[in-house]
Structures are given as C-alpha cells and as structure tokens.
Structure 1
Amino acid sequence: MQLSGTLAKVKESGAITLGVREAAGLSYTLGNGKYTGFHTEMGEIVLRDIQKSLGMPKLDIKYQPVTSQNRIPLVMNGTIDIECGSTTNNRTRQRDVAFAVTTFVEEQSIAVKLSSGITSIKELNGRTVAGTLGTMSLAQLRRHPRAVGVDFKELSGKDHSDSFGLLEMGRADAFVMDSSILARFISRSANPAGYKILADTFAHEPIACMLRKDDAAFKKMVDDSIKRQIADGSLWLLYDKWFMKPIPPSNERVGLPLSASTQSAWSSPNDKPMEDYTN
C-alpha cells in the first residue's frame, strides 16, 4: 500500500499525536499527563484500528492538550495529527480543517444554581451569563429567537473550569455551554444537587474528531473505525460507561442519556456541519 500524508508520517515515525482537552465533557485530564473521557477513549480505539490496518507492531500515542483557541492551528501546522476533544464541526472551520463522521451531537444549554430560580432563557434578563473564551455558546445564545429582548451581561472564563467557577462563586448567574460539559462539571462539584441544567436548549452541534484537510486516506481510516464501533455496538457501550455509570476513581455519575440527535447521527454516519442541523 502506497502511503501519503498523515498515514505515511505515522508509519515512518511509529507515533501519532492525539489532541485532547484538559477540562471538557468528552475529554479531560486525570493529572500526571494522563487523559481520558468518552471521546479520548474512542480516539484511542480509532488509532489502534489504524495501527492494525497499517500492520504496525507498535504505535506510540502521544497526547497533546489543546484549548478552544489553539486546537485548529495545532492541527493545521502538524503539531497534532487528530484531535478528539469536543470540537464542533461547522462550515467556517471546514475551510481550514476536516472532520471525521459525527460521534456526538451536543445540545447547547444553560446551568444555573437551583437557588437562582431561573427556569428559562427569558429569565436571564438582567442576569450575568458566563461562557468560555474561544467557544461560540454566548454568541449562539444571543442570536437565538428565544433570547430576543433578553438583556444579560457576559463574563468569559479562560477555560471551562474557570467558567464553571464563575457560576460556583456567584459571579455569574448562569453558565452557557455544551450539555455534556455542564453535566460533567456539576457531577464533580462540591454540591451537585445544588445545580440544574435548563430544559430550554437552544442549539445542536455535531462533535467530531478534527483532521488535516485534503488527507482522504487518513480520514477514511478514521471514519471506518468509527463506523465499525457503531455497527458492532462498542460505541454504545462506551457511551454508557462514560455517561450513565459511575466513573472511577470518584465514582460520580454524569447521568446524560444518549440523545435522539446522537442516535440519529450514528444510524446514518455523516460529517455534516452544524449549519445543516435544525435548532
């Protein structure tokens, strides 16, 4: 097999670099250079499938933490070969990078403290809402029809942990972000019962592993692995492990059932951008 692009680089070097997140709902750190989460573990399985396809006796997986701000440049400049964090596939990003088939359809929502009395987007009027730098959540909320006439102040955290801290400390009345991220931070907080995620969701975003553009052979191998994991049921079991069962070592339970949107994406694997979804 004549290899080119990322596959040639991987075969020659014996290594591949996986972009991961330090504090996100689908990918996060355990400390000491160890990374885990639903999307991280799925990405590792993808890379082992690629190792088998290339007939490599050994593949060194290197982990590179990325942020909302630097993840796309690090894919483009070759620092990382594939990013399986929590990146939304949209048309703007498709100008610079490629995406594997969708592995999670994120719903944008809002976390609040129960004591706030907030139950809907309309009740954010006059409140302070936190978001994370480099993400689109606050802008999407502003643009949504249900937010018309709602005047709220914005605060931005440097990362998701910082943003949740703004809510936790009372500097913000709400934190707007992906439901999986909100559920993860609430489950790991000092008082999980003191928070809730509003049912008033306002966007659907296809989350996928990010790759360099114009590398069709590598993308096909990544897509084939994901489709295999869907078809044999292993991706469903992986989701159950990370979102419905207690997670060691603290044994917190996220409690985020597989959404109908994600099930639909898995039943017909595709790499459609966010703009093709109805919100």
Structure 2
Amino acid sequence: MARVRYGARTEAEIAAARTASAKLPDIWSTGVVAVWETDPDALAAVLPPPLKPTDRPLVRANISKVDLPGYPLGAGSVAVAAAHGDQRGWYPLVMPMTHERALTGGREVFGEPKKLGEVTVERDGLTVRAALARHGIAFVEVRGAVSGTLPLPEPTEKVDFYFKFLPGVDGSGFDADPVLVHCVRNEKVRALEKVTGDVVLRESMYDPVADLPVRRLVEITIGEKTTDQKGRVVERVSAQALLPYIHQRYDDPQQILDGPPQGSVREGHRTKGVR
C-alpha cells in the first residue's frame, strides 16, 4: 500500500523532524521598534494576574519583515512592560502574522496571542513607514526618517510572558488549568539606526491598542536582528482570575459592546518626535 501521509509517523521520522528543526540557520528580520510611555492605570488594567506593572509604563510596537527562504513573513506585536515576581519582561497583547503557519505554531506551543493580519515595513532612502493592520484598520502606524546610526548592542536575552490555555468545550471556562509561560529569546543585532518620527494609534474594535495612548515617545529604531526562542511553563494560574482577560486572544462578536473610552479620538493618538 502506498504511504498515507495523514497516517502515523515512525519514531525515526519524528526524531528526524526534531533534528532538522534544531539546526535551522539564523533567520534575519528587518524591523521597526517604537517604545512609548502610556497611562499607568491603562497599562495595569490589561495585565492578568499574576503579572504586575513595572516602575515605568512602557508599550512597545515591533513591526518586522522576516527573511524566511521562499516564505517571507510579516510579523508584529504590541506589548506592555510587565513583571512576574523578580522577572521583568513584556506581555504581548496582539501579534499580527501574515501567514497561518507562523500563527498556528506560536499559539499552540507557546500560547502566543497571534492573529492573521497585515504587516508593512517600508523604507525609501531615509523615509520609514511601518504599520500593523487588521480588518482594514492600520491600528498602529510608525512614520519618520532615519536620523543616525546607533551602536550595536551586545547579544541580549529578552523574556515575553504568555498564558497558554484551551477554552472549555462546553463554552465556559477552560478544559484544563491555564499556565503561565516564560518565552526566552536570545537576540543578536547586526544593524541599528535611530528614527525621528511619530506613532499613530487608530481606534479598532478588535485591536484596541489606542487605549494605551502615547504619553511620551521614548524611541523609534529600525534594524536587522535574529532571535531564537525557548519556552518553559513556570506556574499554573487561577482559571477564575484569567477568565476575564481571554477576550484579548480572540475576535469576539461581543466586542461590539466594548466601546472606546469617553472622549477618545477615533483617529487615535499621535505624538511627534523622540525626546
């Protein structure tokens, strides 16, 4: 009988697949990173326990084009600074990806809040534009001009926090206790430049990052980097405490009830310059 590809793989085939994935070469990306200070109360409101705010209410937008051979990928994230005990890191709220392959693995293995979306990174001479868009709305846009070369940082370890869970089959709660994941990334940078520009946050029902306004722009950079990542489960968390936050992960039709804060501007918040 000819091999049925949906059939079970042998132990040797499984081992070979793991070996091949462990030997992937460095994959470089070109990306724009914007960091700003936001309203501390708004930042604290998006953190599920046991995560807590740090001493500085920072938001980071990372917008990249990844040089996957034959499979170019747009990847982005909007994350807030957070702490888990003594460990400091970032808690991503949304991670738009341009291909389902990148989305599925990250969500199922690490619990990453990935969603299909549009990712734009453009450079024309010194002019730079980068954006994250979903449902026809560019909810984050970074625009500016390169204004100088920055020294290359040493290889750095960075930590992201994710909650991995399975919603209950019966439509309520979870099928098992959710877990908190520390995702550790080792990052190397081979090019880095400063960008003088602005960040625009536009109102979106499904990606309401405009609720984290730009109070003070810290920096905008454009660079080339490569990272690897490993995750580990650090603790099981309270299902009851996490349940009010799981809408962050999905496009829920009930979000139509989540109107923007009173007094917000539909075109979002815009701050010029890097101070």
TM-score of Structure 1 vs Structure 2, range by shorter chain: under 0.3
Higher RCO structure, 1 or 2 (CA under 8 Å, sep 6+): 1
TM-score in terms of structure 2 length: 0.26
When normalised by structure 1's length, the TM-score is 0.26
Q: Greater share of strand residues, 1 or 2?
A: 2
Higher helix share: 1
